[in-house]
Structures are given as structure tokens and as C-alpha cells.
Amino acid sequence: MTTTISQPGAAISAEQRRAMIDSQLRTSGVNEEYILARMMAVPREDFLPAAKAPLAYIDRAVDLGEDGHLASPLFYGKLLLEADPRKSERVLIVEGGTSYLAELTRSLVADVDTIGADDAAAGQLPAGKSYSLILVDGAIEQLPDAMAAALEENGRVVSGMLLRKVTRLASGRKVAGHLSLQPVEDIGIPVLPQFNVPKGWSF
């Protein structure tokens, strides 16, 4: 006789991920199957402390205090949709507090490096490496010169942008050595304060 051991927790998690896809992603225009497959395969609760795990599939970011955040499912879906990662790409991911975005991306590209927001904002990127795609897990006010320098010619950056207190998905492409981020659409994105523009004196 064969005994089957049920895994109710895993089954509930899979149901929650399917509901996330149907009610949060597809209804907002994220319909590419490779993105949906990755978001179905990666349990969000695995990237949260146990006390926060019940919040894994809400339609907004989960605040982790000083440890950062897990952004909303829609942000990650839209980020990957805009990035359109390719199998040949070398990708740098600026993490917002978890490695969830890196796990979503890893099987879609050739290579993934990750870096914390503190190091990225300080320009302390992996030495001697360049990337065809940089993804930022949060909204930033400014893009450090070191990040632009690490991007290959014709490479792309996809990130959140904080502009006049409104967060937007943004992207940019490096052309003739020049890179600037352009807004794509307004969306709720946790802010990475490490990238804030220093406040100057006013008289």
C-alpha cells in the first residue's frame, strides 16, 4: 500500500500564487507566459520572515523595516515585462531587502550578480564587470555614475523612479555613453532612500 502525505501549506501557497496571477497580474496587462511561469514557480513567502509570511500575496509592498521590503507582485511583473530579459544577458540586480527579484530572473538570463542598495548607491559595484541589464528593486531619485559606467553600450536599466514624490516604473538605454531614465507608468514602488538626492541649503 502506498501512503500519500499531503502538503496543505504548499497547496495553499500555490493557490495564492495562482490567484495573484489571475487577479493582480493578468488584469493589469502582465500576460507574458515566461513572466507568469516564474512568478508561479517562486513562493513569495520564502523571502519573508515567518511573522510576515501571511502578507506575501497582498497587492502592495510588505515593509521589512530596516531590512527593506518585498515589493508588490505587480511591480515585479511590470519590471520584468519592461526589461524583457534575454537568455544571453549578464544582469546586475540591486536588491531592496530580499533576493526575490534575483530568483525570478536567474533562470531567464545567462548570469545574475546581486548587490545591496547601500553598496550600489555608494558606487561599490563588482570590480571589472559589465552588464547588459541592470534591475533595481525599488524607486530611486538618482542613478549613480558607477551604475551607468557598469552598463554596456546599448544596455538597459529598469528601475523605479521617485519624481516629485510620485513613484513610477522607469527604464533607460545607454546610447553613445549616455544614459537617462524615462518614466513608463505610475505604480506604487517602495523607495530606496540610499539613492536620494542630497538636500542642499536654501536661503
Burial code (b: 16+ CB inside 10 Å, e: under 16) for 124-152 equals ebeeeeebbbbbbbbbbeebbeebbebbe
The pLDDT value recorded for residue 168 is: 98
Please tell me the pTM assigned to this model: 0.92
Provide the sign of the torsion angle of the four alpha carbons 28, 115, 46, 60, taken in this order: negative
Q: Cell digits for 138?
A: 525599488
pLDDT recorded at residue 200: 61
C-alpha to C-alpha distances, 81 to 110, 132, 158, 184, 197, nearest whole angstrom: 18, 16, 10, 11, 28
Cell of 193: 532612500
DSSP state of 97: S
141: cell is 531619485
Q: Which helix (H) or strand (E) holds 73?
A: helix 73-83
The CB-side HSE value for 54 (13 A sphere, CA atoms) comes to 1
Q: What is the pLDDT of residue 4?
A: 39
Residue 150 and residue 165 in contact, taking contact as beta carbons nearer than 8 Å = no
Looking at residue 202, its pLDDT comes to 47
Topology, domain 9-195: Rossmann fold (3.40.50)
* The predicted structure's pLDDT at residue 53: 96
Residue 150: per-residue pLDDT: 97
Q: Residue 8's pLDDT is what?
A: 56
* pLDDT tens by residue, the chain, 203 residues: 443 344 457 888 999 999 999 999 999 999 999 999 999 999 999 999 999 999 999 999 999 999 999 999 999 999 999 999 999 999 999 999 999 999 999 999 999 999 999 999 999 999 999 999 999 999 999 999 999 999 999 999 999 999 999 999 999 999 999 999 999 999 999 999 999 998 765 44
Domain spans of the chain? Answer: 9-195
What whole-number distance in Å separates Cα of residue 3 and Cα of residue 5?
6
